[in-house]
Structure 1
């Protein structure tokens, strides 16, 4: 293939395990035919040399730098590379990559498309480093050719708190391969619980608020066990809470699973008690597998998915179009939602609604939205 066109460059910190890294690789795979038809070479630049949990598509030229998490070192290494490549545009994921993309765009004559994968205000919650990062976001993001928010909630935060013009932001929900998820869910696993259970999935960190899930589960007194998938620095304190509540025989920590889908597929329903999300992949993936969902109304994403409304407030537990949405940090709301899904008729109804909702996050719809974003900065 004659790659005479100026390339498209994608930038991310690394391909370690994480939602943003997974979506970056999916984006590149989904867009392969588009770039092939237009004869555009594609490059992926990783700022850090770290173990890779995601596999870059073969058609993409991958370059791994070694900035060791340093913004300054990243600038020094990325500048000569982009100067040599002369891209039409750079599309970046994650804050550090976004800063570098914007800083180099005007110097080197390309368009910067940046993607915000988390709710910025919730992500930078405190401390000097976070204060500096928030200031850099406010000063730099408005200078990007296009800002891509993963949800309406992330978009609203950027407009209200970081001076990014509403007209310069596109919302692009994450893509999901429903058939692949269903196939993955059929894989045999050796430690699948034999008794009925409900499930929560995510990093065991403070923001995911698994302590609320455990406390609410204890108060609900339901028959099903609780399975938690994930790793993180909160595990020890969460296990202590389980012991304190006398739940050692009912709560099971199964750690990180490269393929979590068999565990989700066999659960009675899915619960998320997170305090903050960029876009809650685990909720949509559970819906792709036909699971009813209980979720806290955190920033951002759950209300958009479950109630199809934003902004939106609830009190306690609220039965919405696609699941049960609960007030943030409201233990009784989670308890009530668990009691409501003990009713088989309601549970079955939400299983059907989950499957229907999941269809709106298809690969073809995602591809068309990405093309529209690219067209906005190149035409």
Structure 2
């Protein structure tokens, strides 16, 4: 009997983000006759934990005991660059993650990439980069300098990028040898998206815009609310559905209240199945500061939605030069102008609906899984 290839995958949490969902989609489709998977979580939390296949062994870095978890959290994350803390962190990581694997994968930037490097037992290591770190360098506080972060990345055997442009932006910062780099598009389970979009019906009575994502700085949902104000001032009848949760929810709701948009902007919270809402809406809007490969945009395209998206490496790779959707500048008025043009020009709107369905054909989940399994070996 052939021995299975043992793989350890480390990710920060399984919260409701795009990278986390991609990982779950991969694990649900991977060949367990070929691989023995152990999944490590830095934090024992996230909405996707109950979706982990039973064949996957799950281990946590942070203990589930609240007292010890708070203590370690303070030491490891509030003082990440203090003298002696790195040394203690390395010891703790090697106690918690003490087994040897054929392949180790840091599936996210930041903590996963840093902590996997601390493991003593190692064969081949891969780091996955899901964002444009040049324009969204959210990991900077975890390293003493860009040079230190670069050394961590250079210690990996291979780095996987979700888009070509995000790889080029990464190279401007970190300069990893080209023979270590590979672009691999995210897994987009098109057939499942179409199936789940039929699970229930969502009714609407006005032109409806939908947006999905964590309510955090990088998603720039304040722009969406400003767009709503412009649309209202122009006299349009519309509704915006914002699906997601996060630390900025109170601030965004206050902005909606202050701009008198409570009838127009609806906060729907996190949805395990957002697809019926995306299907029911007329237009999908992405306002992010940057994206490596925007998962929600891909999902909207699978459902034939017209997409308006701020410019980023991922959006340009998916939508082309306004060929399959409209890419705008990072200004609320520019986003509004693009939406206004679509509403006012029905033939243009219909053209982009057709283009969206055409573009959805690139999402071949079987082909993508073959490519990912080739990476895993």
SS of residue in 2 equivalent to 1:322: coil
Alpha-carbon distance in 2 for matches of 1:336, 1:119:
26
Alpha-carbon distance in 1 for matches of 2:138, 2:8:
31
Partner of 2:215: 204
Is 1:288 equivalent to 2:289 in the alignment?
A: no
Q: 1:150: how far off?
A: 1.7
Partner of 2:41: 46
- Report how many aligned residue pairs link the two structures: 352
Q: 1:247: how far off?
A: 2.5
Q: 1:135: how far off?
A: 4.2
Task: Map residues 35-184 of structure 1 onto 2, 5 A cutoff.
Answer: 35-36=32-33, 38=34, 40-54=35-49, 55-66=51-62, 68=69, 70=76, 75-80=90-95, 83-84=98-99, 86-94=100-108, 95-104=110-119, 107-124=120-137, 129=141, 132=144, 134-184=146-196
Q: 1:306: how far off?
A: 0.9
Alpha-carbon distance in 1 for matches of 2:134, 2:359:
28
Q: Decide whether aligned partners of structure 1 residues 26 and 134 sit closer, same or farther in structure 2, where only a CA change above 3 A counts.
A: farther
Q: Decide whether aligned partners of structure 1 residues 109 and 236 sit closer, same or farther in structure 2, where only a CA change above 3 A counts.
A: closer
SS of residue in 1 equivalent to 2:134: helix
Q: Decide whether aligned partners of structure 1 residues 120 and 168 sit closer, same or farther in structure 2, where only a CA change above 3 A counts.
A: same
Is 1:272 equivalent to 2:286 in the alignment?
A: yes
SS of residue in 2 equivalent to 1:243: helix
Q: 1:24: how far off?
A: 1.4
SS of residue in 1 equivalent to 2:106: strand
C-alpha contact 1:30 1:363 (8 A) present in aligned 2: no
Q: Decide whether aligned partners of structure 1 residues 228 and 129 sit closer, same or farther in structure 2, where only a CA change above 3 A counts.
A: same
C-alpha contact 1:11 1:93 (8 A) present in aligned 2: yes
The answer to which of 133-142 and 276-285 deviates more is 133-142
**1:153-172 per-position Cα deviation (integer Å, ceiling 9, x unaligned):** 32112211012123311111
Partner of 1:214: 225
Alpha-carbon distance in 1 for matches of 2:204, 2:352:
23
Q: 1:321: how far off?
A: 0.9
Q: 1:121: how far off?
A: 3.1
C-alpha contact 2:14 2:46 (8 A) present in aligned 1: yes
Give the aligned CA root-mean-square deviation in angstroms: 2.6
Partner of 2:320: 307
C-alpha contact 2:207 2:239 (8 A) present in aligned 1: yes
The answer to which of 241-250 and 114-123 deviates more is 241-250
Alpha-carbon distance in 1 for matches of 2:218, 2:175:
25
Q: 1:111: how far off?
A: 0.5
Alpha-carbon distance in 1 for matches of 2:143, 2:7:
32
C-alpha contact 1:170 1:373 (8 A) present in aligned 2: no
Is 1:374 equivalent to 2:376 in the alignment?
A: yes
The TM-score, its normalising length taken from structure 2, stands at 0.84
Is 1:14 equivalent to 2:13 in the alignment?
A: yes
Q: Decide whether aligned partners of structure 1 residues 166 and 100 sit closer, same or farther in structure 2, where only a CA change above 3 A counts.
A: same
Query: Tell me, which stretches of 5 or more residues in structure 1 are unaligned?
Result: 309-319
The answer to which of 342-351 and 48-57 deviates more is 48-57
Query: Tell me, which stretches of 5 or more residues in structure 2 are unaligned?
Result: 64-68, 81-85
Q: 1:275: how far off?
A: 0.8
Alpha-carbon distance in 2 for matches of 1:249, 1:82:
50
C-alpha contact 2:17 2:213 (8 A) present in aligned 1: no
The TM-score, its normalising length taken from structure 1, stands at 0.84
Q: 1:347: how far off?
A: 1.4
